Structure 1
């Protein structure tokens, strides 16, 4: 019979997820020696090595992979149990674990600030990541809910749209096209576009749009963030396509211009997403209702 503690499993789950003792220690608010001691005691109880070190990196052993699967399930069940108990007690405080696509981070903190003002005893964990990581987190049920662009097919998800997400074409303020109106799509074939990485929601929407209209674009540098694209466009390296929500500062300071192009903006939407079988806590349900009822109007007022 295994004699394991919840503390040992929690520490192990963090190390296995990060494959890094230092990051796990930081997340658990422990020292690295304390984390190492917990793992050592767990391995002694199990009777097998859970990690192996190759060079400076650590990897899960076969036993480690098996225990990681069960430790994640146990952690999720304990979180749900805590939420249920709090509901029965009528507790208004709680935890909210949110992951957002990197582009959504331009507005998500403002929405969370308003929500926390109404529920000051709620603790929020905000994780900003790329689409690929976010989809992996959803697949493994690692957060309460996510804010992202178009959710994928194939995962058992509940996805509800709460706000428009227009994609626009940006250019340096001295670009010749800035003064033109109703620019035909064909004119864009003479320009170089700076694009997001493969798999990005913006990249997917851009490629689908131009393919539908029979337009072949010349693409230059590939970049992993909206900030990098905006800086490169400002430097005159090409045009870019970004969400209008990323441009508030640049437009206010006249650092970038939005081009008036036919059939633009590309209209996408922001979605609040969670696993279909996930039991949402009172706090999670309140935040979801807040997004669906008020987010669009609040962001319009802020703009």
Structure 2
């Protein structure tokens, strides 16, 4: 007999295409996840996942079960939301997904939320832009925080806070402390960049293209902490969200180069699928975000 728990676990495996990563997300052991998926396959009488080499793939029956699982679990979430509304804010759940650069800002705001509404269970997922948009497409969360809302997604959204993008370097860099550094003076510098497709990378490339400059990319890294470490190690300079390097800048381990045209002023946006009826908890968290706008 198929259980809701099996569907929840299978949905995570199907999304991650990895038993290990699904186990990490669900706080389960990898064998426990594998066993639940195997039992689900026995229950439906079809192989749902196949392994080719080291990669997992969904079978055609797997696609069918995944679509049904999303519908069933989504309806359960809607039931929980309606019940939470009947109870007021005494109980409920809030699920927020954020791009990695927002993880320095959102926890503080979630702290304010949890103090006001201690009965609400909060789930925070951090990922890169591509992962966040995949979760958005699957309607897995209540709210999504990202730097820019892409034109290609059908979303309702609010702009809620500034997110300045700055050039960082070591205090020993020749341009450190210099006023009015021209963009052309960065030509030939080795850059440590975020991965292709990240909001910061897009904003950086757009700026340099406007200046007629093609920056030399020495290294691409997918985490802001790794970028800060690489810059502190003298491997190059970088363009990064000021908030993500806040501590290093305050401690003097990094400095902000005073480049003309920087900071690039961007904003954080909170979004959700267009037409979605968001929960009472999500509405309350939106209120906290927009209060500081």
TM, length-normalised to structure 2: 0.91
Q: Any residues of structure 2 matched to 1:154-233 within 5 Å, and which?
A: 154-233=152-231
Q: Distance in 2 between the 1:290 and 1:163 partners?
A: 12
> How far 1:104 sits from its partner (Å)?
0.7
Q: Does residue 1:272 correspond to 2:262, yes or no?
A: no
* Structure 1 residues 261 and 40: CA distance shift in structure 2, 3 A: closer
- Matched with 1:300 is none
* Structure 1 residues 179 and 50: CA distance shift in structure 2, 3 A: closer
Q: Secondary structure of the equivalent of 2:125?
A: strand
Query: Contact 2:89/2:280 (CA < 8 Å) preserved in 1?
Result: no
> How far 1:22 sits from its partner (Å)?
5.0
Q: Which runs of 5+ in 1 are unaligned?
A: 297-303
Q: Any residues of structure 2 matched to 1:286-301 within 5 Å, and which?
A: 286-294=284-292
Q: Distance in 2 between the 1:282 and 1:123 partners?
A: 13
Q: Distance in 2 between the 1:25 and 1:250 partners?
A: 33
Query: Contact 2:89/2:117 (CA < 8 Å) preserved in 1?
Result: no
Q: Any residues of structure 2 matched to 1:85-164 within 5 Å, and which?
A: 85-164=83-162
CA shift digits 1:18-48 (9 cap, x unpaired): 3344554565566666555544443344232
Query: Contact 2:80/2:92 (CA < 8 Å) preserved in 1?
Result: no
Q: Any residues of structure 2 matched to 1:12-27 within 5 Å, and which?
A: 12-24=10-22, 27=25
Match of 2:249 among 248, 251, 255: 251
Query: Contact 1:149/1:269 (CA < 8 Å) preserved in 2?
Result: yes
Q: Distance in 1 between the 2:64 and 2:21 partners?
A: 22
Q: Secondary structure of the equivalent of 1:290?
A: helix
Query: Contact 2:183/2:259 (CA < 8 Å) preserved in 1?
Result: yes
Query: Contact 1:195/1:219 (CA < 8 Å) preserved in 2?
Result: yes
* Structure 1 residues 118 and 214: CA distance shift in structure 2, 3 A: same
Match of 1:239 among 225, 237, 240: 237
Query: Contact 1:80/1:279 (CA < 8 Å) preserved in 2?
Result: no
CA shift digits 1:42-78 (9 cap, x unpaired): 3344232223344565432211111111111211121
Q: Distance in 1 between the 2:255 and 2:286 partners?
A: 34
Q: Distance in 1 between the 2:23 and 2:9 partners?
A: 8
User: How many residues align structurally?
Assistant: 293
Query: Contact 2:189/2:237 (CA < 8 Å) preserved in 1?
Result: yes
CA shift digits 1:227-248 (9 cap, x unpaired): 1221122122221111110122
Q: Distance in 2 between the 1:289 and 1:198 partners?
A: 33
**More displaced 10-residue stretch of structure 1: 61-70 or 201-210:** 61-70
Q: Secondary structure of the equivalent of 1:52?
A: strand
- Bigger radius of gyration, 1 or 2? 1
Q: Distance in 2 between the 1:224 and 1:37 partners?
A: 32
> How far 1:9 sits from its partner (Å)?
2.5
> How far 1:150 sits from its partner (Å)?
0.7
Query: Contact 1:251/1:257 (CA < 8 Å) preserved in 2?
Result: yes
Q: Secondary structure of the equivalent of 1:199?
A: coil
Q: Distance in 2 between the 1:162 and 1:262 partners?
A: 26
